[in-house]
Structure 1
Amino acid sequence: MYRRAANGSVVDRYGGNIRLAQAVAGMYNFSIRFIEPPPGELWGELTSNGTWNGMVGLFAREEGDIGVANLFITALGGRRKFQEYTFPYGQESTCFLIRRGAGLPRWQSLALPFAQDTWLAVLLVALLVGPVLYVLSQPQVTSGEKLAGRSFAFSTLYTFAVHLRNSRPLLPLRTSLQVFVAFLWVYVIIVTEAYSANLTAFLTVERVPEGINTLKELYQSSFTVYAQGPFFGNNLAAAKNEHARGLSDRFIPLPDLESILEHVVSGEGVYIASINNLIYTISLHTTPQGSPTLRVIKECFQPFNMAMGLQSHSPLKRNLDQAVRMIVEAGLVHHWLDETLLLAKQDRQKAAEWSASTSTEGSANTTDRKIEQSVPLSLEHLQGVFIVLVIGCSVSLFVFFVEVVFRDSWKR
């Protein structure tokens, strides 16, 4: 990660890999002089004349001693002839970045708090409790029962009003009706409270269609796969997954991230890189309201261990292994990742403030907002309340049966 001057020159570097190199330098008391490969060469690839470019080429020509660049441990292309690795300091998956789809219409939020099976169960209950109440209120067991002798339409509308928590104030007198109505109200209160609470979440959180999330779906799409340099294209071509191998035919390496993101933001392709790289990239691309405009596809591809690079047979390896191991055990790698995201956020805010102070068009809101994913309530979530209702219906029907059987003896 870079901070640059107005003329484009690098003022400062930061990021987990830079902090790692600085920490090792501090432990062994040496100074660092950063050298970057020529544009587009990056980690390094075997050229047509049999030589290596990029970082591997710097090691092969003994122009570099240590390499840091989100470096994956791999022997791809025979690079380990010139490049060795230190003790690994983390593991990353290779994932795909895609444009985030437009949010779903807000009116759909009214149906989203419950899953489809939950809505079907609620509808089934609403259709059944009316007839149950009608049956329970037929026999004239107790004189003065307000719910007895009512029509089927009345029983249906009465239970419908209970579901709206606004029923008529008719208190049942018979035990069976009391049990049934009490359990019905317990069920209704829990269901309606659950719906209301989850509805609030869906009204305040933007819902986005799932879209492409697997390698198979990505392969079946028309998206082009972009990356910085050919490294990831070679990995796709060597993959065991047939869909990943198929994506290598649509792989295009580009020299800089800006041109890649132009294709991703326009919806023409996806960007393949390590997951932490993609998380950082997402943090830099948000709407004025703070919502991300990019997302990571759920199915990732080929995990790698990460390490520092160095020349093959380098005498520095033993000391570097020891230093990296100590840093990993201290938990500094994850700390530096969080620090990098925080610094990126601060830089973005400063850039927005500077833009606002030099423009008459007003400032954009750069506040980051964590997008929570609201979950529709399924039958698994609400199974308890339906069990309560079934128990209530069973008990009330049993009491009703007892009332009918012993009706004559009670009258005597």
Structure 2
Amino acid sequence: MLFINVLYRKERLKGLFTWRPRIIQSQPLDITAMQSNTPTLHSLQDEAFPTKLFPDKTRNLWGATLNVGTFNFPPAVIYRRENNGSEGHWYGDNIFLAEAVGDVLNFSLRYRRPPAGEFWGKLTVNGSWDGLVGMLARGEADIVLANLFVANVKGRTKFQEYTFPHGQVETCFMVKKPSPLPRWQSVSLPYTLEVWLAVMGVILLAGPLLHTLAYSSVSRDGDKLACRSLPYLSLYTLAMHFRVSQTVLPLRTSLQVFVVFLWVHIIIVTVAYSANLTAFLTVERIPEGITSLKQLYDSKLFVYGIGGPFFADNMAESGNEYVRGLVSRFVPMPSSEIIYSHLMRGRGVHIDALNHLSYVKSLYTDSRGFSTLRIIQECFQPYSVAMGVQSHSPLKRNFNIVINWIFEAGLVSRWFEETLTLVKKYKREDSGSPSETEKSEVEDSSEETISLTMEHLQGLFVILCIGFATAAMFFIVEFFARKKYN
């Protein structure tokens, strides 16, 4: 009987083929050999092997149980403990991926956590690794996963190899959202400073220009507007900007053109201001805050990260000088909850993968359902995400094939959306109040309100200039006509 060794199972040997001799009928029978049941070279012929002598042992693991090193790191890996106190279950897009690979290659999963506080792993003083890397090196885990970045920081690939990447994420920073601007400032926010200066310039110039045209247009036609003083006409144009109807109307063509175009300008300015003011009165205005790596570097804030010095080591290798300057301010923390308490005191920022930061941001909201955190717009480094396997692991080849199929089918993105749906569902079940969950899903639309700039209103001022130029042309015509008449 022929045996082969079996990988990842308690029984190390598996019967591959039972070898039995058979008699060749054309040869004379050897009675002695038949009685002793001993094959001879001349009377017996080996039976042909019905299978390969060296099969692919990782294409089908025959129901073996693989040890998976991981820890709670949402939304990639989430551990949910049941309310009745029974053993919980694992879910998340990384978990769904590992289970799908297990379905294809016929193995089951046994989840194991690294020791408390070790997380992905760091290099110790004696040259060994702790955390997930150490679990692979010591044979305590066959695969590891927890939003695992493909990186060879501190030479970890000597103890840990990576499968085919199943996604890519950026490394970003999250900071406390600045306090909203006072409500009394809302009356000035619909326009930017340059627009307000332009409007004030029109108010200051409209009165003197109207007075110049009116004074030069004095004639026998009895135009009452032409007899008014400069202060009166200045107040006249100012009242127009408050959309107050005027009883004194111009009779001269040049004055009529001037006033008509000025009214068009005023109506558009006031309507745009009123509409935008409504938005600023109903939506909370949040200052821009820190948006770039340079601003973060100048802020002198601490940088908090979960686990060991992984992010500090990667920042030290960055080509951005501001990112390298943040290394001295990096502080490792054991959990996102502790980091959040520091963030709300304004002490620092949280560095991690974008998908994890987005998840944490959705958890911490105020009484109205708006997040109290914001992610800085400028991120600094993308990473591929993969599973970790033991060095020279025989699993890697077939894992890569299956993961490539899954990635090309778009299942990873689908599992990510499914994870977020489950998170909302479990949160609703735990809180017992659907209204609170729905409230937390309200988007903070404060960033959608913007102050109108000269770029938005440049057409309005062009129309006003055209009106002034047209009024000036009519004034010139009237001037020469009156001179000829006189």
TM-score by length of 1: 0.89
Query: Which of 204, 217, 228 is the equivalent residue of 2:282?
Result: 204
- State the 1:62 CA deviation: 3.3
Task: Tell me which residue corresponds to 2:402.
Answer: 323
Task: Tell me which residue corresponds to 2:365.
Answer: 286
In 2, Cα distance between the equivalents of 1:354 and 1:117? 48
In 1, Cα distance between the equivalents of 2:103 and 2:262? 70
Task: Tell me which residue corresponds to 2:270.
Answer: 192
- State the 1:123 CA deviation: 0.9
Task: Tell me which residue corresponds to 2:197.
Answer: 120
- State the 1:279 CA deviation: 0.8
- State the 1:34 CA deviation: 2.3
Secondary structure class of the residue paired with 1:92: strand
Query: Which of 391, 395, 400 is the equivalent residue of 2:466?
Result: 391
> Once superposed, what is the RMSD of the aligned Cα atoms?
2.7
Task: Tell me which residue corresponds to 2:443.
Answer: 370
Task: Tell me which residue corresponds to 2:301.
Answer: 223
- State the 1:101 CA deviation: 2.2
- State the 1:289 CA deviation: 0.8
Q: Residues 92 and 137 from structure 1, CA distance in 2 versus in 1: closer, same or farther, beyond 3 angstroms?
A: same
Q: Which has the higher contact order (CA 8 A, sep 6+)?
A: 1
- State the 1:29 CA deviation: 4.4
Query: Which of 171, 182, 200 is the equivalent residue of 1:94?
Result: 171
- State the 1:364 CA deviation: 9.9
Is 1:11 the counterpart of 2:88 in the alignment? yes
In 1, Cα distance between the equivalents of 2:159 and 2:480? 94
Q: Residues 33 and 141 from structure 1, CA distance in 2 versus in 1: closer, same or farther, beyond 3 angstroms?
A: farther
In 1, Cα distance between the equivalents of 2:409 and 2:200? 56
In 1, Cα distance between the equivalents of 2:398 and 2:475? 84
Q: Residues 71 and 112 from structure 1, CA distance in 2 versus in 1: closer, same or farther, beyond 3 angstroms?
A: same
In 1, Cα distance between the equivalents of 2:250 and 2:404? 74
Is 1:400 the counterpart of 2:470 in the alignment? no
Deviation track 1:13-46 (CA, whole Å, cap 9, x = no partner) reads: 3322223323333444443322222222222222
Query: Which of 352, 360, 378 is the equivalent residue of 1:273?
Result: 352
Is 1:135 the counterpart of 2:235 in the alignment? no
Q: Is the 8 A contact 1:158 1:167 kept in 2?
A: no
2:478 corresponds to which letter in structure 1?
E
1:47 corresponds to which letter in structure 2?
T
Query: Which of 254, 263, 279 is the equivalent residue of 2:333?
Result: 254
Deviation track 1:56-106 (CA, whole Å, cap 9, x = no partner) reads: 222223333333211111111111123222333332221222222221111
Larger radius of gyration: 2
Query: Which of 24, 28, 31 is the equivalent residue of 2:108?
Result: 31
Q: Residues 260 and 405 from structure 1, CA distance in 2 versus in 1: closer, same or farther, beyond 3 angstroms?
A: same
- State the 1:355 CA deviation: 12
Secondary structure class of the residue paired with 1:38: coil
Task: Tell me which residue corresponds to 2:57.
Answer: none
- State the 1:301 CA deviation: 2.5
- State the 1:222 CA deviation: 4.2
In 1, Cα distance between the equivalents of 2:320 and 2:85? 41
Correspondences of 1:2-81 after superposition (within 5 Å): 2-6=79-83, 11-81=88-158
Shift >6 Å, 4+ stretches: none
Q: Is the 8 A contact 2:427 2:437 kept in 1?
A: no
Q: Which consecutive residues of structure 2, in runs of 5 or more, have no partner in the other structure?
A: 1-77
Deviation track 1:125-165 (CA, whole Å, cap 9, x = no partner) reads: 11111111111222135714342222112211121122111
In 2, Cα distance between the equivalents of 1:327 and 1:161? 69
- State the 1:120 CA deviation: 0.9
Query: Which of 180, 183, 190 is the equivalent residue of 2:261?
Result: 183
In 1, Cα distance between the equivalents of 2:417 and 2:355? 10
Task: Tell me which residue corresponds to 2:238.
Answer: 160
Tell me which moved more, 174-183 or 278-287: 174-183
- State the 1:8 CA deviation: 7.4
Q: Residues 347 and 132 from structure 1, CA distance in 2 versus in 1: closer, same or farther, beyond 3 angstroms?
A: farther
Task: Tell me which residue corresponds to 1:379.
Answer: 454
Task: Tell me which residue corresponds to 1:360.
Answer: none
Query: Which of 420, 433, 458 is the equivalent residue of 1:341?
Result: 420
Deviation track 1:238-272 (CA, whole Å, cap 9, x = no partner) reads: 33333323322222212222222222223233221
Q: Is the 8 A contact 1:59 1:311 kept in 2?
A: yes
Q: Is the 8 A contact 2:428 2:437 kept in 1?
A: no
TM-score by length of 2: 0.76
Q: Residues 299 and 400 from structure 1, CA distance in 2 versus in 1: closer, same or farther, beyond 3 angstroms?
A: same
Tell me which moved more, 172-181 or 5-14: 5-14
1:198 corresponds to which letter in structure 2?
N
In 2, Cα distance between the equivalents of 1:144 and 1:365? 69
- The sequence identity of aligned pairs, in percent, is 51
Tell me which moved more, 243-252 or 322-331: 322-331
- State the 1:375 CA deviation: 1.2
Q: Residues 355 and 179 from structure 1, CA distance in 2 versus in 1: closer, same or farther, beyond 3 angstroms?
A: closer
